[in-house]
Structure 1
Amino acid sequence: MHRSSFVLAATTALALAASGQGWAGTSSASSTSSGDITTSWGDRTRIQLTWTDRNSFRDGTLAVADQTCDDRTLYATLTVRTGSGTTLAAEDRHNTRGCGTTTDFRDLRATDPSGIRSVTMTLCRRQAGMPDHCETRYTSFNPYNPSYGF
């Protein structure tokens, strides 16, 4: 899967600071969304973020774990769908440390004045001479944005 670089729109701030298969749900009481996802090939990622209002999420963490020990680079990409319908992808976050390791990324956050409808996470692994193998298994809809389902 080809990924283009993330271009920061003037009105949108998306920051990702380095440092079992499931479905992520959002708790209306705490507005925190989390997911613990295992891909079909066996690698794993955990994500958590806190929705603050219709325009923002903050305090996000992402852990990318190499559990297959297959000497392939593993990476995750977060994609934000804004209230205006624009889709913005952050740069890929890689775990290049190898077998049995986890790479953590902290302080994930985004703000957009048109609102944020959802955040999607895609986990991929590189395949020599072939397109990357990617799976999208996490989507969190903003509970504060009434248009989140569209």
Structure 2
Amino acid sequence: MKRFLSRNLRRVATAAVVASAATLAFTGTASAATGAATGSGNEVYGSANWTWTLSGMKSINMAVRDTKCDGNPVYVHFEADLGMGTIGQTPYRWNQSGCGTTTTWSNLWYSSGTKLSRVRVVVCVDDAGWDTCYRSGWQYNPEA
């Protein structure tokens, strides 16, 4: 009886492996994970979408809109959790065109140089003193 169960379990396991391989052969490889986030306040709105990599992001599209007629430029960037309490920042992308305008960028990339666990979008107003900034929630990298 024990040999009978063992043989049947091997057959089931073999069938499952063959079925999985056939499914991959017909459907191709899994598509890359994507991310998206927005940040906004009374004076600014920003968004980004991207494709994750183990150490960063590629095919990044970003936009920032100046939503208040106050003469202050706005900008967007990412904060990246680099681990061990270190938060890195990507370069700022500026919109200095004024009230109601949107500036966009496409096909950007970012590599942290290490495994990247999460990022968030930050949008800011370049006002007097400390800039006023708004952050999205953390977006987690399924590739890491």
Tell whether the structures are fold-level matches, with TM greater than 0.5.
yes
Matches within 5 A, 1:96-135: 96-128=96-128, 130-135=129-134
Equivalenced residue count is 115
What are the ranges of 5 or more consecutive residues in structure 2 without an aligned counterpart? Answer: 1-29
Between Structure 1 and Structure 2, whose CA radius of gyration is higher? 2
- What per-residue deviation string (whole Å, max 9, x for no partner) do you get for residues 28-86 of structure 1? 975111124432x142112101113x223210011001122221111112122235654
User: CA-atom RMSD, angstroms?
Assistant: 2.3
Amino acid at match of 2:36: S
Amino acid at match of 1:117: S
- What per-residue deviation string (whole Å, max 9, x for no partner) do you get for residues 96-146 of structure 1? 001111111222222345311111221111222x2211111242210122x
- TM-score w.r.t. structure 2 length? 0.68
Counterparts of 2:126 and 2:72, CA distance in 1: 6
Structure with the bigger percentage of helix = 2
SS at match of 1:116: coil
Say if 1:125 and 1:48 are closer, same or farther in 2 by CA, change over 3 A.
same
Q: Return structure 1 stretches of 4+ with deviation > 6 angstroms.
A: none
Partner of 2:61: 61
Say if 1:36 and 1:122 are closer, same or farther in 2 by CA, change over 3 A.
closer
Partner of 2:72: 72
Percent identical among aligned pairs is: 25
- TM-score w.r.t. structure 1 length? 0.66
What are the ranges of 5 or more consecutive residues in structure 1 without an aligned counterpart? Answer: 1-27, 146-150
Structure with the bigger percentage of strand = 1
